[in-house]
Amino acid sequence: MTLRRRDVLKAGGAATLAAIAGPLRPRAAGAQGWNQAAFGGKTLDEIIRALGGSGHAVTRDVSWGATPEIAENGAAVQVSVASTIPRTEAIGIVIEKNPGPLAAYFEIPDGTEPSVVTRFKMAQTSNVHAVVKARGTYFVATREIRVTFGGCG
C-alpha cells in the first residue's frame, strides 16, 4: 500500500488521481453495502424483510456439517452450513437469542460452493437459523445449539 502511494505521488497528475479514486470507490460503496436494517433486526421475519425477502419456506436441504449440538464455549461456536438448494445465492446465520440475531450474511457467486464455516459468539442456548436465498426465495433451516458456558463478551 505504502509503495503504491509513493509511486502515485511520484507520478502525479490528474490521470493518476483518477486511478486512485477507482480503487477507493469500492470501499465507500462497501460501507453502504453493510445492511444496517438487517443487522438491527430482532426477529427472523424482520431480518428476512430487511434482506429483501417477504416470508420464507422451511427447508431440510441444509447440512450442518460439524456444527456442535452442545457448545462448551459460547465465545467461539464453530458453525458450518452447506446448502443443497440449487442456485443458492446467499447464506445468512441468525442466532435467535443473541442481542443482534443476524450474525453473518454471505453472498455466494456462481462457482463458489454454497458452504461456509465461521465461529460465532453465543450468549446462551439458542435456535440457530440458516437462511438460504436461492432464486430470490428465502429458505430457513433451524438447529438448536446448547451453550454450557456463555460467550457474551
Partner 1 sequence: MAAPIRIRASMQADKVVVRVLMTHEMESGQRKDTDGKTVPAYYIREVSARHNGRPVLAAQWGPAVSKNPYLQFSFVGGKPGDRVAVTWIDNRGETRTDEAVVA
How many residues belong to the chain?
153
Q: Binding mask 83-122 vs partner 1 (x if CB under 8 A, - otherwise)?
A: ------------x--xxx-xxxxxxxx-xxx-xxxxxxxx
Total residues contacting partner 1 by CB under 8 A comes to 40
Residues between 49 and 78 that touch partner 1 (CB under 8 A): 75-78
From the CB of 13, what's the least distance to partner 1, in Å?
A: 25
Q: How many CA atoms lie within 13 A of 38 on its CB side?
A: 20
What minimum distance in Å lies between the beta carbon of 10 and partner 1?
22
Q: In this complex, which beta carbon is closest to partner 1, that of residue 34 or of residue 136?
A: 34
Residue number, 122 or 132, with CB nearest to partner 1: 122
User: How far is residue 74's CA from residue 83's CA, in Å, rounded to a whole number?
Assistant: 24
Q: Which residues, in sequence order, are CB contacts of 135 under 8 Å at separation 6+?
A: 86, 87, 89
- At its nearest, how many Å lie between partner 1 and the CB of residue 80? 8
Q: Which three cell numbers, joined as nine digits, stand for 81?
A: 452450513
Q: In terms of Cα–Cα distance, which of 61, 49, 33 is closest to 94?
A: 49
Q: Which is nearer to partner 1, 31 or 57 (CB)?
A: 31
Are the CB atoms for 53 and 94 separated by under 8 Å?
no
Q: Considering only CA atoms, which of 145, 142, 136, 130 is closest in space to residue 83?
A: 130
- Distant-in-sequence, close-in-space partners of 11: CB < 8 Å, separation ≥ 6: none
- Is 44 near partner 1 (CB under 8 A)? no
What is the binding site for partner 1 (CB under 8 A)? 27, 30-31, 33-35, 38-39, 75-78, 80, 95, 98-100, 102-109, 111-113, 115-123, 151-153
